[in-house]
Each structure stands twice: as C-alpha cells, then as structure tokens.
Amino acid sequence: MTDLSATTGVTDRLSGTAQQEPGRDNGNPDPIRRFLDQYNPETPCLVMDLAHVRKRYRQLRTALPDARICYAVKANPTPELVGELVSEGASFDVASPGEIELCLAKGAAPESLSYGNTIKKRRDVARAFQQGVRLFATDSEADLTNIAEVAPGSQVFCRVLVDNTGSKTPFGRKFGCTPAQAARLLVRARDLGLDPCGVSFHIGSQQLDPAAYQHGIAAAARVFADCAEQGVRPRMVNLGGGLPAEYTDTAPPLADYVTAVERALERAFGPQRPELLVEPGRFLVGDAGVLRSEVVLVTDSCDGQRRWVYLDIGRYNGLAETEGEAITYRLRTSRDGDPAGPIVLAGPTCDGDDVLYQRTHYELPRTLRGGDHVDLLSAGAYTASYSSVGFNGFTPLPTYCVDGDQRP
Ligand SMILES: Cc1ncc(COP(=O)(O)O)c(C=O)c1O
C-alpha cells in the first residue's frame, strides 16, 4: 500500500491530495481505475476525477449560457474540487458557515456565494454578511426578519414548495412556501429595506422527469405577477438542483431538461425572460466519482435464497442515500464475467438498518469472496459528505482526487 493523503469533510483538515494520475496515456480513458490499480488504496475510499467535474461544468455552461451556475457544495465538499470549480468561474450554493469558509479558503469571491439554506441561525446570517455574502434564500418571516436586521440591504430570493414527483430523493415539506406567501414575503422584504430579487424552488434531487421544471417555473411566474401588483419586481428565477447522475435507472440527457426549462420559461414569462440561477450538485460530481469497497464476507442466507454480500462501505460511512433504496449505484467487481446470482448487499456495522439493497434486484458473481473489490460507480455525490465521524469505529470516507486531463 502506498502512503496516500486524502481529504475529507468540509474543511482542509488533512493535507493535500493523493493527486494526479501518473503515466496517463491516451489509450486509457479511465483515470480513476488507473489510480486504483496503481496505488491500491486502503478501502473504502472515494476517488474523484476533476477533469470529469470540469467537463460537466462546461457542458452545463454551454447548455444554459445565461444562467449563473452555483455548485451545491453539500454534494461533495472536497476542497480540491471546490478549488477547481473556482478556477472554472463557478458560483456556489452554500448551506452553512463551514461551507462558506471552505469556498472562501479556496479562493471564491464572497459575492459568488448564495446562502441557499432557508434554515439558518441569526448569528450565521450575520457572520456570512460580515464575510461579504449578499445573497440569501428565505421562506419564512422569522428568517427574513433576521436577514433584514443583520444583513441589511442584501438580496433575498424566496423558495416555493413544488411537486417533487419523479425525484428519487424528494424534499418532502421541509422547505418552501406557497406562491402567495412568497409574494407576501418578497413585498415584506422590500419594506424591510432588502432587495427582493427572485424566486427559487427545488424539483427534488435525482429528478428523472424533465417536465418537473414546469411546476417550479410556473409557480415563480405567479409570484412575479403577485409581486408586480404591489410594485415589487423580482428579476431572477433560481432553478435549484435536480439534474441527475447515472445510477441503475437511466436518466434523460441534459438536453431534455434544458428543453423543458426553455419551454416552461417561454410559456410562463414570454419575452420577459428572468435572470437564471441554477444550483447543480449531483449532476456536476456524481458521475465523476468511484467508491472502492472491499468484500468483508459472503454468507448464505438462513432461507437458502440469496447470498448476503457484506461490504466495508455501508449506510453510515458513505452510502446514506441507499436509505429506502432510493439511489441504486451501478456496481463493478474484480470478478465480473463469472456466473452471477442474486444477492442482498449490506454494510459492515452492527446495525440492522445497515442493509443497502434487499428489495432491489442485484446480482453479483458467485465467485465473489472476502477481500475482493466492489466498485460503486457514479458515487461522487452525497457519499463522503454524508459519512459519519465514526459510527461503530469506522472512519469517515476518505476522498482522493485525480485529474484525467493532467499530463505526467
Ligand atoms: C438548496 C439546494 N440547492 C441545490 C441542491 C442540489 O441538488 P442536486 O444535487 O439535486 O443538484 C440542494 C440539495 O439538497 C439544495 O438543498
């Protein structure tokens, strides 16, 4: 095992990057696999290809040329990755003081940050304002009052609650208000001396139905119209996140989402096209990461039906999104090609809920045994950032970055 340094968590706690991808040749399009083969890092670990993140950012930039792209840092707060997006000219959707500090430390300008969490402490709003942040999401009178008092004159956008049907990980009812309430809040924002700049929504993460954007855009248009009646003119629509990564269910291509957005904008706003902001998380980083795990044990089930495959990665050290089997990662093993059979996949902890897939049909090679590797593909989003600090003594998931475009 080579001694590697990885980065974990929101702050630069550990040194440097396991970096680069030495000896890349043009014949090998998979720098992550080369890194894993060459360094054989301790498992479990996440490996991110920064070149892939750049590619996705540029793809979105081209597809929505007039939209401000705010990377949702929560999807993957690896410092190198944030730094890479700063270099690309991205803006950032941040949810906490920790994410603000991370972005600033990686060179982001404070005016490129959007404090997109509607649930924030008054003192955290004050601190963000002192650090230069001037754009805040809100969806309640209490939060709006805090913003007006400790971040005077700032821009605020109001989040509306929209239908999340089609999303693999919907938001429920935690965030957002009705269009009528949003209009009232934006008018109140004006009265409090703030700049009521727009409306946001989130169609639910891993949204597989591009038409979902219609609900949000139509709701935003209703808010704009209500506000206009009271002399307030919001100008921006924040499309939120929702763009998908590639799991076992095939997602529509980006072009379908862009078409849906453009049609909905045309229908709802006509020639008065608003300024656009988009907050992609999963789309930028999901497919850029591979999570390498090791098989701990393979056992026969008591009913003799399916084998149980236990990995050293589970619900608590990175795979939180397998809850409810919502996100179904594509798997790759070192024994692919051998005859396969149905399995239940589970994590390593002494916790009965640490089962990844038992309803979803998965098959793995019958030859698979302890010590073999299982790679979870497209695992770059909401994995390392969700990993616990030490449940059952398992350490947080380390992240390594490679750069598939980097020459030796
Ligand atoms: C406010 C906000 N914006 C954007 C995102 C990113 O969503 P996604 O990863 O689906 O692009 C999230 C995710 O939770 C969010 O809470």
Domain boundaries, the chain: 31-48+287-402, 77-280
Give first-to-last CA distance, the chain, whole Å: 21
Tokens 């597809």 belong to 63
Ligand 1 atom with the shortest distance to the CA of 279: 4
- Residue whose Cα lies nearest atom 1 of ligand 1: it is 116
- What is the Å distance from ligand 1's center to 240 Cα? 6
- What is the Å distance from ligand 1's center to 36 Cα? 29
Structural contact between residues 85 and 103, judged by C-beta atoms closer than 8 angstroms: no
Question: How do 307-311 and 340-346 pair as beta strands?
Answer: parallel
Residue of 177, 197, 350, 401 marked active site? 350
What is each CA distance from 179 to 140, 200, 218, 303, 370, in whole angstroms? 12, 11, 10, 53, 54
pLDDT score at 7? 60
Q: At what angle do helices 50-63 and 254-269 cross, to 10 degrees?
A: 30
pLDDT score at 204? 96
On the 0-12 / 13-18 / 19+ scale of CB atoms within 10 A, 326 is middle
Average pLDDT, 10 consecutive residues per value, the chain (408 residues)? 52 33 44 96 98 98 98 98 98 98 98 98 98 98 98 98 92 91 98 98 97 96 98 98 96 98 98 98 98 97 85 98 97 97 97 96 97 98 95 95 80
pLDDT score at 405? 86
pLDDT score at 406? 77
Q: Give the span between the Cα atoms of 189 and 153, in whole angstroms.
A: 9
Query: Best of 114, 205, 278 to mutate for ligand 1, by most ligand atoms within 8 A of CB?
Result: 205
Residues near ligand 1 with C-beta < 6 Å?
72, 74-75, 93, 116, 202, 205, 240-243, 279-283
350 is catalytic: yes
- What is the Å distance from ligand 1's center to 328 Cα? 19
Determine whether domain 31-48+287-402 maps to CATH 2.40.37.10: yes
CATH class of the 77-280 domain in this structure: alpha beta
- What is the Å distance from ligand 1's center to 307 Cα? 36
Tokens 């670990």 belong to 45
